Amino acid sequence: MAVGLAFLDMRSPPEDLARGDLIAALAGGWGLRGAGLAYVPQGGGGHHWRLVCDDGQPWFVTVDDLDGKSWLGSDRETVFGGLGVALATAAALRDAAGLEFVLAPVAAGDGELLHRLGDRYAVSVYPFVDGHSFAFGPYPDDLRNSALDLIAVLHRATPQVRNQVPRHVLHIAGWPDLDAFLQEPDRIWGGGPFAEGAHGLLLAHAADLAWLAAAFGRLAGATAAARAADPVVTHGEPHPANLLSARGTLLLIDWDTVGLAPPERDLSLIIGETGEGADRYQEVSGRAHDPSVLTLYRARWYLDDLASAVRLFRKPHTGNQDTERWFDGLAPRLARLPDWLGQLG
């Protein structure tokens, strides 16, 4: 795949979060008092810092924006609760199921994995792992096989966490905004430096986008029974950028999308477009995949990116590195629309 909009780097720290508030939260919640707190401009969906404590121990700090995780809920309280459940599931996979490749957060002094940081944000703390991740995009064959081995182990661990893992609900982030645009495509956008340009790009494809959204809905209905038949615990976004190589082993990071779902939810990001890796997964897991469900989750990813762009640019926004990257990624993403029309045609 080409770089998805949802995974462009978070280059800028949140403007409405005071550094002193974060330092106080780490000290009060985890007892971490650091000689250095440096922003790490990487990752999508969260903000990250590297904290070096007074004793020299490094930690990885994540601050999640509760307004930016619509798959967990429609308001901040619901998102905070859902994020807590997701992180607890990751910890259970690591501790109770013994999956050492699950990089889960460490508990604060009160035993909680997640602390509120003001009204809008939540903070969690992870061991700092000295390793490297991989570029978002298609898997190279050697890394694909390793990823499929991890995912097969994860799926087989379902019985050990089934009673606590949240059920994934198939949905498109930003769908209300995409739907509003499709209902009134000629309505002018305002309030930001990229509004006019983004609206123009999307307007040129409005009819095809409406058709694709309807086709996605039909495919979701046609595969509903298959998707409900035998769900497993899925990571949700096991693309290469969520794999961390450290000391000769692979770790799977970013568990806020964990959920009970068909295995194709994970496989859609690992199996190649011409089926590379399908046999490997069947051999290791003992189960085959459904090509229609695989297509559904790939189409959901594509529509999710476009809907998220609509949500960003049709509302007031500022010009910064993040919004610029979103805008730069929009035209290449729309260039793939004819391919998707064919796949769902």
For position 11, what pLDDT does the model report? 60
For position 3, what pLDDT does the model report? 31
Please check whether residue 95 lies inside any domain of the structure. Answer: yes
Q: List CB contacts of 287: < 8 A, sequence separation 6 or more.
A: 230, 263, 281
User: Which letter does DSSP use for residue 126 in this model?
Assistant: E
Please check whether residue 190 lies inside any domain of the structure. Answer: no
Q: Judge whether residue 324 has pLDDT over 90.
A: yes
Q: For 70-74, which contacts have Cβ atoms below 8 Å and span 24 or more sequence positions?
A: 70/171, 70/173, 70/174, 71/169, 71/171, 71/173, 71/257, 72/256
Give how far the C-alpha of residue 223 lies from the chain's centroid of Cα atoms, to the nearest Å.
23
**Per-range mean pLDDT, top range of 108-112, 137-141, 171-175:** 108-112
* Residue ranges making up the domain that contains 250: 5-171+215-343
Please check whether residue 208 lies inside any domain of the structure. Answer: no
What mean pLDDT do residues 222-244 have?
95
pLDDT 10s digits, 66-93 = 998 988 988 999 999 999 999 999 999 9
Q: Judge whether residue 21 has pLDDT over 70.
A: yes
Please check whether residue 209 lies inside any domain of the structure. Answer: no
Backbone conformation region of residue 91, classed left if phi is above 0, alpha if psi is from -120 to 50, else beta: alpha
For position 9, what pLDDT does the model report? 46
What mean pLDDT do residues 134-140 have?
89
User: Which letter does DSSP use for residue 310 in this model?
Assistant: H
Q: What's the chain's average pLDDT? A: 92
CA dist 144 and 146 (Å) reads 5
335 CB burial (10 A radius; 0-12, 13-18, 19+): exposed
What mean pLDDT do residues 20-48 have?
89
**% of residues, the chain, pLDDT over 70:** 96
For position 42, what pLDDT does the model report? 77
Alpha helices in 52-174 (DSSP H): 76-95, 141-156, 158-161
**% of residues, the chain, pLDDT over 90:** 82
For position 43, what pLDDT does the model report? 66
Q: Which residues of 14-34 are buried (b: 16+ CB within 10 A; e: fewer)?
A: eeebeeeebbebbeebbebeb
Please check whether residue 228 lies inside any domain of the structure. Answer: yes
Q: Judge whether residue 14 has pLDDT over 50.
A: yes
Please check whether residue 182 lies inside any domain of the structure. Answer: no
From 2-11, 195-204, 219-228, 307-316, the region with the lowest mean pLDDT: 2-11
For position 74, what pLDDT does the model report? 87
190 CB burial (10 A radius; 0-12, 13-18, 19+): exposed
User: Which letter does DSSP use for residue 71 in this model?
Assistant: G
Phi, psi dihedrals of residue 17, rounded to the nearest 5°? -115, 115
Token look-up 């889960």 returns 104
**Domains: count for the chain:** 1
Q: Judge whether residue 261 has pLDDT over 70.
A: yes
Please check whether residue 90 lies inside any domain of the structure. Answer: yes
What mean pLDDT do residues 36-63 have?
89
Q: Judge whether residue 153 has pLDDT over 80.
A: yes
Please check whether residue 200 lies inside any domain of the structure. Answer: no
Q: Judge whether residue 15 has pLDDT over 90.
A: no
For position 142, what pLDDT does the model report? 87
Confidence of residue 2 (pLDDT cuts 50, 70, 90): very low
Q: Judge whether residue 7 has pLDDT over 70.
A: no
Confidence of residue 317 (pLDDT cuts 50, 70, 90): very high
CA dist 141 and 122 (Å) reads 37
Closest of 38, 42, 73, 86 to residue 258, by C-alpha: 86
Phi, psi dihedrals of residue 219, rounded to the nearest 5°? -65, -40
Question: What size, in residues, is the chain?
Answer: 345
Confidence of residue 284 (pLDDT cuts 50, 70, 90): very high
For position 306, what pLDDT does the model report? 97
Q: Judge whether residue 44 has pLDDT over 80.
A: no
Confidence of residue 4 (pLDDT cuts 50, 70, 90): very low
Token look-up 């006019």 returns 196
Q: Which residues of 217-241 are buried (b: 16+ CB within 10 A; e: fewer)?
A: eebbeebeeebeeebbbbbbbbbbb
Q: Judge whether residue 247 has pLDDT over 50.
A: yes
